[in-house]
Structure 1
Amino acid sequence: MNGPLSGIRVVDLSRVLAGPYCTMILGDLGAEVIKIEAPGGNDDTRGWGPPYVKGESAYYLCTNRNKKGLTLNLKSEKGKDILRRLIKGSDVLIHNFKTGTMEKWGLDYESLKSDHPELVYCHISGFGETGPLSKLAGYDFAIQAMSGFMSITGSEDSGPTKVGVAITDVLTGLYANIAVQSALLERAKSGLGQAIDISLYDAAISGLVNTASNYLVSGKIPKRLGNYHPNITPYQTFKTKDGEMVVAVGNDRQFQLFADCINAPELKEDPRFIKNSDRMSYREELEALILEKLTQENTDKWIRLCREKGIPCAPIQEIDEVFQDPHVRAREMVIEMDHTNGEKISMVGSPLKMSRTKVSYELPPPMVGEHTDEILKQLGITEEECEILKNQKII
């Protein structure tokens, strides 16, 4: 693969979402990613369906392109020996085993760094390697609950609600990616790798951004606001004549334009609404006045009028509408790959648009151990030895 990370080899021992999402991005950027599973496969997401494409779940497919598949039994000494041989020619190791597992196998950073001082070693876990919860397993749903995400999602009527995707896994994968690439940049200067400790809990709390800051500054516990914004108005959903839309007025100038857009110039002169701080004090009154206007016309008309005046707004689209959007297609956010099983698979494209070192889509998500023989051959292991290892359930 060509790309900004071409020449970098990543040993990927991660499963499910956060780790595989991180390593897929590295693969999109040109790194050689070797996905290691136990013989027979142990990435749970392979079975998380329907839907499936000839036995491969859509969930598994979404985060595993641009990887080669290798099987190894890491509970065996031979399996661990092969992994150590693979690490010798690698730059990055990423895993998301429970804290203490790699130490038990003698594959933790402290055990490896003397022989591989240049290795960037990233451990993704639920709660990190330190602290009273470090031994617990972490799952996105539980982390959303613990981190405060659910407490601020939904409305007072709905009660606590999780985000519609595994958002803490996604955030963790992105943070891990940033950390790995930063460590590689630093290694170029120092010649040394380092250990990275990334947790879902930390990533989720960091992802609270302004809501966390509001609490830390004021001491007030945030409430569930549904589709309202805690600091800005009008910044919410509104009913229209034929549906709903989002209006996202971000400053006082935009509010002046919005008042003209909905043919309500009187709102610009009303002292209750001139400044955002005043609008926040009279949010309910303002909402009623805006709603009276917006319910007179269809969503499409309001979207057109608002966009003409540069007012942030949006229709509320179903997923099928998203992938039919001409803009989404123009941005190449839908790609097709030929899978090893003979099927064409549609996937979400990379959001990384780079002018010179573009992302590439070289390898479809691997079948269990699809490239085992190829990788072992590169390590100097013969076909005969591979057969013995298979019979011993090492690979």
Structure 2
Amino acid sequence: MSQLPLKGIKVLDLTSVIVGPVATRWLADYGADVIKVEPEGGDLIRTLGGVSSSGRFSPKYLNFNRNKRSLGIDLKHPEAQALMRDLIAQSDIVITNMRHNALVKLGLDYASVSAIRPDVIHCSIVGFDQRGPYAGKPAYDTIVQGASGFADTFARMEGTPRYVPLTITDHIVGFIAVQMVLLALLHRRMTGEGQSIEVPMFENMADFILSEHMGQKVFTGSDGPTGDLRILNPLTQPIRTSDGYICVSANTDKQAFALFDAIDRPDMKTDPRFSSVSARLKNIDLYLSTRDAALARQTSAHWLEIFDRTDVPAMPCHTFESLMADDQLSAVEFFDTLDHPVEGRLTDMRLPNRTSKNWEKPSVPAPDIGQDTDQVLRDLGYPDNRIAALRQAGAVFGRNAEESHNG
């Protein structure tokens, strides 16, 4: 394994739940030393989305917080303030998804943090751009899905708006935050300058949705419709076969014509309603309904074999369970096992991206609440008697690694 690209970069992680922890996990996976700050009781996601046998780790928490260290600290405690200043002084990056007013009260906003470390990169993931009337409003994934038009995509297809059953905006915005932080690191390397970054969920998802579905409104003054009619068609969905579902997407003429041959409808290749991309789009309902009726007559395996042989894009429509048994994931060793000191053997996921420098390290299990408190303070140069005093005062807390292992 080559040296990880973020080795030596210190990240102070003031995030919780999903959007922020997704971002900081990617930084940790590529070598950054991520110190996750947790209050008494820990990150809310520890008890959301399922609970482990110990009651201290949900599956989501385990997935989003590997390769991090946990510092248990009461940020409102007077004796914690000096400790946070020392941490900030040694941090290259501070990431937070707290609301701005809370950051100011705790002295963790950009102005306060940069006064301690001028070249710091301060990334604030917020619900809404702080210049607008929604500044300060609370935001969760479902709130942003509805506000950004995500839920309306289902209304266009089915008549009723609904949420994607996945915290999809949290994941997308988390990835965008990583991108912005890495760009800021590159800028700092070139100029020596730190900076403040604001990553708003609503505006990023508005861009995400409208880049696909602004439609004719791209042309200023147009009264044309919004939305990509092909994507929003109710028949654009997994297709029922005689024994299940498959996913097929034949977009080019070559692909569509191979599909027509496969369903024994070669006449469609010369039918003016289906003989070109634009014609099929114009007659999208008839095109898709003809396809679906044909595929319903044979098994999924039958169609997948034909489509694989004729290079028509198609895949099984997996369940969560069948996805975990997928041959491709097995062949590339997507899954790994991980021994957790509290929860025992876990199924972990390897980094899906490959580099010629092999930037992958063995995963370190997600930490217990404050598991690394003492070591983080020792890294700051605190003697054991001062650490004990901070614990006694209630400014910091947490099990050490041995206590976590013993429950």
TM value normalised by structure 1: 0.93
Paired position in structure 2 for 1:331: 332
Shift of 1:212: 3.3
Shift of 1:289: 2.7
Counterpart residue type for residue 248 of structure 2: V
What percent of counterpart residues are identical? 30
Change (3 A) 1:99 1:67: same
Paired position in structure 2 for 1:205: 206
Shift of 1:253: 2.0
Paired position in structure 1 for 2:50: 50
Distance 2:268 2:324 in 1: 37
Distance 2:204 2:345 in 1: 35
Counterpart residue type for residue 322 of structure 1: L
Change (3 A) 1:128 1:284: closer
Counterpart residue type for residue 349 of structure 1: R
Distance 2:30 2:208 in 1: 24
User: After superposition, what is the alpha-carbon deviation per residue over 1:208-235, rounded to whole angstroms, capped at 9, x for unaligned?
Assistant: 154333253265555797xx6249x995
Paired position in structure 2 for 1:229: 231
Q: SS at the partner of 1:117?
A: coil
Structure 1, gaps ≥5 residues long:
none
Q: SS at the partner of 1:153?
A: helix
Distance 1:216 1:22 in 2: 33
Matches within 5 A, 1:333-372: 333-341=334-342, 343-372=344-373
Counterpart residue type for residue 64 of structure 1: N
Counterpart residue type for residue 169 of structure 2: T
Paired position in structure 2 for 1:248: 249
User: After superposition, what is the alpha-carbon deviation per residue over 1:32-89, rounded to whole angstroms, capped at 9, x for unaligned?
Assistant: 1110112x23310111142424221112112000000101221123212111101211
Shift of 1:380: 1.7
Distance 1:9 1:370 in 2: 18
User: After superposition, what is the alpha-carbon deviation per residue over 1:84-126, rounded to whole angstroms, capped at 9, x for unaligned?
Assistant: 1012112100011112211122221112223312111000111
Paired position in structure 2 for 1:318: 319
Aligned partners of 1:127 and 1:133 also within 8 Å: yes
Aligned partners of 1:70 and 1:371 also within 8 Å: yes
Distance 1:392 1:194 in 2: 34
Paired position in structure 2 for 1:186: 187
Instruction: Give the number of the structure whose residues are more often helix, by fraction.
Output: 2
Change (3 A) 1:107 1:238: closer
Distance 1:246 1:127 in 2: 36
Structure 2, gaps ≥5 residues long:
397-407
Distance 1:309 1:235 in 2: 21
Distance 1:51 1:74 in 2: 26
Counterpart residue type for residue 229 of structure 1: I
Distance 2:140 2:224 in 1: 28
Counterpart residue type for residue 134 of structure 1: A
Deviates more, 1:148-157 or 1:191-200: 148-157
Number of residue pairs the alignment of both structures matches: 391
The RMSD of aligned alpha carbons is 2.2
Q: SS at the partner of 1:314?
A: strand
Aligned partners of 2:235 and 2:285 also within 8 Å: no
